[in-house]
Amino acid sequence: QVWEGLSQWFHRVIALDLVGFGFSDKPRPHHYSIFEQASIVEGLVHHLGLHHQRINLLSHDYGDTVAQELLHRYEHNKTGSILINSLCLSNGEPPVASSGVWDHRYAPPKKELGCDVGAGMTQGRSLFSILQYINQRKKHRERWVGALMSTSVPLHLIYGPLDPVNPHPEFLQLYKKVLPTSTVSVLDDHISHYPQLEDPTGFLNAYLSFINSF
């Protein structure tokens, strides 16, 4: 929904289905790991010859945690695989909070993503394995929240206030308390967990305003 707008603004836009999602492989049994996913992203950046270019990361949900691991690696190794220029999170649940519980009712609408993709994201055992990242998030909270708290990289959050996973206003209050240097865009009251699908124009405008702010 936001691809065309991003493509008009940036020289190159890259999106990938992480392992276990969309059209990517869904090996099973498999131990799905945020660390593995981050390494896959780094490998893709290397494969595309972009490891010497500064990259703006735009993430959502599960991808927010992958982005935090990439941020940690960048902050602790300035010559790392991805040179992060900025990071924008959207309606995931960064481990600054721990109240959210995934529920099938909040899966993206298939009419928006296409039935094949929607089915690809929710294949029984694979989905259960993927959701173990919640435990990883608790275990590595200091590492990933610490990366957000200490970074000098421009940081932003795009938030749909009707999100049942990250309820308003509690989530936003905690986010701002833990990450006071991050800027925030709150979309219209009826926007929920998938703002890039529910309000692509508002989402894109919020993101480009962030990009233009530094």
Give the pLDDT mean for 51-66.
Answer: 95
Question: What confidence tier does 165 reach under pLDDT thresholds 50, 70, 90?
Answer: confident
CA angle 211, 11, 204 (to 5 degrees): 40
pLDDT band (50, 70, 90) for residue 26 = confident
pLDDT of residue 21: 86
Q: Which residues fall within 8 angstroms of residue 138, CB to CB, at 6 or more apart?
A: 95, 98
How large is the average pLDDT for residues 60-70? Answer: 95
Tell me the average pLDDT of the chain.
85
What pLDDT, on the 0 to 100 scale, is given for residue 77? 79
Mean pLDDT score, 139-168: 95
Confidence of residue 102 (pLDDT cuts 50, 70, 90): very low
Angstrom distance (rounded) from CA 92 to CA 114 = 21
Report whether 99 contacts 60 (CB < 8 A). no
Query: Are 67 and 89 contacting, i.e. CB atoms less than 8 angstroms apart?
Result: yes
Q: What is the mean pLDDT of residues 119-141?
A: 66
Looking at residue 100, its pLDDT comes to 42
pLDDT for 80 equals 58
**Relative orientation angle of helices 141-150 and 62-76, to the nearest 10 degrees:** 70
Percent over 90 (pLDDT), the chain:
67
Q: What is the pLDDT of residue 28?
A: 82
Q: How confident is the model at residue 110 (pLDDT cuts 50, 70, 90)?
A: very low
pLDDT value at residue 96: 61
**CA distance readout (Å), 205 to 9, 46, 137, 198, 212:** 11, 30, 30, 14, 10
pLDDT tens by residue, 66-96: 999 999 999 987 655 799 999 999 987 655 6
pLDDT of residue 105: 41
More confident residue, 177 or 29: 177
Query: What whole-number distance in Å separates Cα of residue 214 and Cα of residue 55?
Result: 14
Domains, in order of start, for the chain? 3-211 (3.40.50.1820)
